[in-house]
Chains A and B, each alone.
Chain A
Amino acid sequence: MSERYDSLIIGGGHNGLVCAATLAQAGQQVLVLEAREQVGGAAVTEEFAPGFKVSSCAHLLYQLHPQVVTDLKLKDHGLTFVNPDLATIAIGSDGDFLRLHGPEIWGDLPEGELAAYQALRQRLLKMAAALRPLLTMPPPRLGTAGTADRHGLLKMGWTLRKMGQSQLRDFLRIAGMNVADLLEDELSASLLKGALAWDGVVGSHAGPRSPGTVLSYLYRLTGQVDNRQGAIAQPVGGMGTVTRAMLEACQAAGVTVQANAPVGQIKVQNDRACGVVLTDGREIRANAVISNADPRHTFLDLLGARHLDTGFVTRIRRLRAKGNVSKLHLALDGTPSFTGLSARDLAGRLLISPSIDYLEEAFNPAKYGEFSRSPAMEITLPSLQDASLAPGGKQVLSATLCYTPYALKGGWEVMRERLADQVIDQLELYAPGIKAQVIDREILTPRDLEMRFGMAGGHWHHAEMAIDQLLMMRPVPGAAQYATPVAGLYLCGAGSHPGGGVMGVAGMNAAHTILNDKG
């Protein structure tokens, strides 16, 4: 006799957990199956060297949705921050730097630059806030006679209209722009523009001069941490704490969570998903199977093309989902010293993206399957203020590197360590002596992220966040409303609307859709 649940969730990433908790809170019997030994997906804290722990994929929190925090009572379940609002330190190539915190900037700026920056920031924050309701709306299908779809479209239209004429005009113009043009239109300081451009491109296959990057930037700015829009937070204990709190919320709501339970196959009976078979052969049945795995893996590996139509399968195969981001983790013998930076600065988010041109040059090789000669990077030293992450006196450095394409010419097996060496050499320029401080290191290329976290293509967002893969086209038409062509099978991950980032909204929206389907 096999087990049976109302809902079964494949993958205990943050979206899977949010979806599970939301369904369980509504009274469902829910099971979460996680392939790895711990839940959390790409929001986990792991030991990478003896005694050294790090947030091994996402390492900062920008976007966790307030409704998720409240609904799951994450604060009661242990979510606390070392700092809910980190400063960003934009490091220049010749020892100069800027410190950005909220609307303020410290550092050398040309006359009028600060005011221009504040005006731009305010303009974009307001616009992003006006767009925020779109995140929690399941995208409607176009051109159907269904009242829910029509209602959804009207609601979307109304959200836009509510922005008012001048803001809507501004949005409709800049939404299609590239972030470099926008920044160059308003600002003049290279270092500032380079740093801001980072947030428009990180995680995607786009350089600052690629159209659509303003939209990515706005997406990022819709995020709030602790009611601070646009803030960047470092959770106590790393990103694993976020998903740990979600896990507790799940358990409190009665969700069964099984780790070390990789799913091998989604079972289909009478054209309906009816459960899963684990790789160990165990069968579990459920009324709804919900996948937190990426769309490619879900449809092509777990479900199988034969249960789908050819056109749909082809769309999934064409889904652009090749990651460009690598993670470098260093176990350091002591606190590194970055030229010119104070101890307080080191606790912030350090950005090496000194100009738009630098970032664009970093992107160019990625188009041809090569990694950047001078990658741009986002660095944190989480152990500085969180002793749980490193042995006494030692430090952890976590760096996000752009661009390192998934499909690297020559293959990552050969190039992985070369990349690490090159990046450490580059770090040495900014933090002389750091090379000697390295006790141990770990580099995770997109290929490694794919292997470890099961994200096809090693893509953070499960699928490129480009306009043609957003809203009712995310991940592809036919599966953009969380439901899939196979009855009883749903998506709840970053490959669905609204997309990636540790936000939890895809999981929450999916849960609401499933509950609605049940009537």
Chain B
Amino acid sequence: MRKDHYKSAVEETPFHRRTAAANHTNLWGRWAGFTTVSCYEEVEREYFAIRNAATLFDLSPMIKYKVTGPEAEAYLNRLVTRDISKLPVGRVAYCLWCDDEGKVLDDGTLFRLSQDDFRLCCQERNLPWLQDAAFGFDVDVEDISSQIAALALQGPTSASVLRALGVSEIDDLRPFNFTQAFFAGGTLLISRTGFTGDLGYELWVDPLLAEALWDRLMEVGAPLGLRPIGSQALDIVRLEAGFIVTNVDFVAANQAVRRNRGRSPFELGLGRLVDLKKGHFNGRRALLRDSKEGPKHNLVLLDIQGNKAAEGAIIYHRKSREVGHVTSAHWSPTCKTNLAFASLQAPYGSEITDDIWAQVYTLKELKWDKVMASCQIVPRPYFNSVRRQVTPPGDW
């Protein structure tokens, strides 16, 4: 590793020269040790580009692990809560993994590249846990984050952009499937996955081809409305789509100083990702017990009255009893709804779902107003486009 690493707190992604040139606001954020664009021009325009045309988001800071070996499947099946043995080659699974107590450590997407070759993409660095979990399995786990550059190409016209790029393989590509195409003498891995709840793809490529890919996409995509987006716009659509973020909507159990802050998949509303019948996996015994006792917390998506994003709001029952707090919140420009994820103590959010209120503070000309806003628990995802499911994808 370079020895002058201390000269800059953040690293540049393989797309940096392109994103920097396009970043007219010069607003940057820090993500997993990289500097990434918060907003290129204007959050609202970037948001509507996602819902209306096509967008590029630099995903390179995602952490990527290569999991290979004759027991890779057995290893992963012991690691995550879903049944991986059912995952065919060429398909992606969204999954969670838990500690011994059944509390979630992280979530991510798992790609099955071949019978014995998987790729796990996630937000947090998990190497010690992934290596420890490998004990007793004939498997190799390797951090390949720096070997892969990634872009999220999302939005109604994203399939058209890929077609314009000459990638015909996408016509057969169903949601959560991936395919490989030739690009500039290398391989482009295209998965029909994303964080927007809309039609979209994630493109994975050798960092050396990153700039060429960006340039070609921008070139063919311009007529289709393609533009780069920053993290701020993405955060709105992911909330509409009902996606949670580790260490935003829940604390990774092994990073919680207060250990009771860990959450089980049931408590995050992701019980569907837990297969208690598949055989043993990390946290299974604790989750089996939890599934009988019921969750102690509920992460719910709220539709909050008014139009002021309820960031950090305390949630009450009958306006008096404190029952939880908001973890992330945005006004949804498409749904015209004030959305928020909130973590509530059970039975609120499960047995008790009515008479829920959020205390929202809003700043109006240097004066804070406090409003009790009524809340409705709404299903996830809140924004659910048919475009996301249709195969072959249309030219929307």
Contact = CB atoms under 8 A, between A and B. Distances in A.
B136 A305 contact: yes
Interface in A295-318: 300, 304-314, 317
B280 A306 contact: yes
A271 interface: yes
Contact of A313 (B79, B99, B136, B283): B136
A300 B135 CA distance: 9
Interface residues of B, number: 16
Nearest to B105: A310
Interface string B260-292: 000000000000000000001011110000000
Nearest to A271: B280
Contacts of A300: 135-136
B4 interface: no
Contact of A306 (B74, B99, B129): B74
Given A306-B74, A306-B78, A306-B280, A312 B136 contact: no
B396 interface: no
Interface in B93-138: 99-100, 129, 132-133, 135-137
A310 B132 contact: yes
B100 A305 contact: no
A180 B378 CA distance: 68
Nearest to A485: B285
Given A306-B74, A306-B78, A312 B100 contact: yes
Interface in A36-81: none
B77 to A, nearest CB: 9
Interface in B203-255: none
Contacts of B74: 306
B136 A309 contact: no
B133 A310 contact: yes
B285 A271 contact: yes
B319 to A, nearest CB: 32
Given A271-B285, A306-B74, A485-B285, A313 B280 contact: no
A407 to B, nearest CB: 19
A383 to B, nearest CB: 46
B169 to A, nearest CB: 37
A309 B132 contact: no
Interface string A273-308: 000000000000000000000000000100011111
A313 B135 CA distance: 8
A306 B137 contact: yes
Contacts of A310: 78-79, 99-100, 129, 132-133, 135, 282
Contacts of B78: 306, 310
A317 B280 contact: no
A308 to B, nearest CB: 8
Contacts of B283: 309
A305 B137 contact: yes
Interface residues of A, number: 16
Contact of B99 (A271, A311, A478): A311
B137 A311 contact: no
A134 to B, nearest CB: 28
Contacts of A478: 100
A308 B282 CA distance: 7
Contacts of B133: 310
B280 A311 contact: no
Contacts of B285: 271, 309, 485
A139 B282 CA distance: 26
Interface string A308-345: 11111110010000000000000000000000000000
Contacts of A314: 132, 135
Contacts of A307: 280
B217 to A, nearest CB: 40
Contacts of B129: 310
B95 to A, nearest CB: 15
Contacts of B100: 309-312, 478
Nearest to B279: A271
A309, A310, A314: most-surrounded residue (chain B CB, <10 A): A310
Nearest to A315: B100
Contacts of A308: 280
Nearest to B130: A310
Nearest to A303: B136
B282 A309 contact: yes
Contacts of A317: 135
B132 A304 contact: no
Interface in B285-313: 285
A416 B350 CA distance: 66
B283 to A, nearest CB: 6
A317 B129 CA distance: 14
Contacts of B280: 271, 306-308
Given A271-B280, A271-B285, A309-B283, A304 B99 contact: no
Interface centre among A307, A311, A312, A485 (most CB of B within 10 A): A311
Interface string B351-366: 0000000000000000
Nearest to B101: A311
Nearest to A304: B136
A297 B129 CA distance: 22
A317 B128 CA distance: 14
Given A271-B285, A311-B100, A306 B136 contact: yes
A271 B285 CA distance: 9
A197 B23 CA distance: 72
A304 B78 CA distance: 12
Contacts of A309: 99-100, 282-285
A259 B314 CA distance: 67
Contacts of A312: 100
A478 B99 CA distance: 14
A305 B78 CA distance: 10
Contacts of B282: 309-311
B263 to A, nearest CB: 17
13 contacts: A271-B284, A300-B136, A305-B136, A306-B74, A306-B280, A307-B280, A309-B99, A309-B285, A310-B78, A310-B79, A310-B132, A310-B133, A310-B282
7 closest cross-chain pairs (CB), A and B:
A305-B136, A309-B100, A311-B100, A310-B133, A314-B132, A309-B282, A310-B282
Interface of B: 74, 78-79, 99-100, 129, 132-133, 135-137, 280, 282-285
Given A300-B135, A309-B100, 16 more contacts: A271-B285, A305-B136, A306-B78, A306-B136, A306-B280, A308-B280, A309-B99, A309-B282, A310-B78, A310-B132, A311-B99, A311-B100, A311-B282, A314-B135, A478-B100, A485-B285
